[in-house]
Amino acid sequence: MEPSLVGSLYGKLKKVNTVCATLSGIVLLFITFSIFVDVFMRYVFGSPTIWITEVSTYLFLYVIYLATAYALQKGDHIKVTFFVDFCSKKAQRWIDLVTQIMGVLFTVVLLWQTSAMTWSAIKGKWTTPTMLNMPIAIIHAIMVLGSFLLLLNFTCTTILYFKGEEKDPVGAA
């Protein structure tokens, strides 16, 4: 059986999520290595860097937002199933429907708010109040991308689950 339009879109989205999660891992490795270098510089040479702490803090947002949609796709997020396990299959499907819709609504608001925040940073030419003076829009932009991928993921899995093309509403691959 050939996948539907949403199914093929979700297949492409899974690949994008995998690339983003891989980038997230690379960024996390960079953060780890740079903090190690900073600690080494501080305690061995008595000369810490001035930028690693700040950049690592900002890059941590990239780690989180690049990997969130992938975690949802793989079903690696937190689930509390104690109550649901006692329900009938029909009730479980209704609960899945409600939670999926709530997930979609949450990510719509998240995307809307992160987009508004990023747009304000672009219009206002905001920069960090530190020595690096980084444009805040660069820092916020990853939240827009991550929210968008999360929204696509929630929407695709919801449609496919209720069409019967996915076994699990969170898209367990």
Q: Which domain holds residue 15?
A: 5-163
Tell me whether residue 62 is in a domain. yes
Tell me whether residue 173 is in a domain. no
Q: For residue range 114-150, list pLDDT tens digits in order.
A: 999 999 999 999 999 988 899 999 999 999 999 999 9
Tell me whether residue 168 is in a domain. no
Tell me whether residue 169 is in a domain. no
Q: For residue range 69-115, list pLDDT tens digits in order.
A: 999 988 887 777 778 888 888 888 888 888 888 999 999 999 999 99
Question: What pTM was computed for the model?
Answer: 0.85
Residue 173 has pLDDT above 60, yes or no: no
Q: Give 35's contacts (C-beta < 8 A, 6+ positions apart).
A: 52, 56
Tell me whether residue 46 is in a domain. yes
Q: pLDDT value at position 1?
A: 56
**What's the total number of domains in the chain?**
1
Other CB atoms within a 10 A radius of the CB of residue 3 amount to 12
Instruction: For residue 72, give the amino acid letter.
Output: L
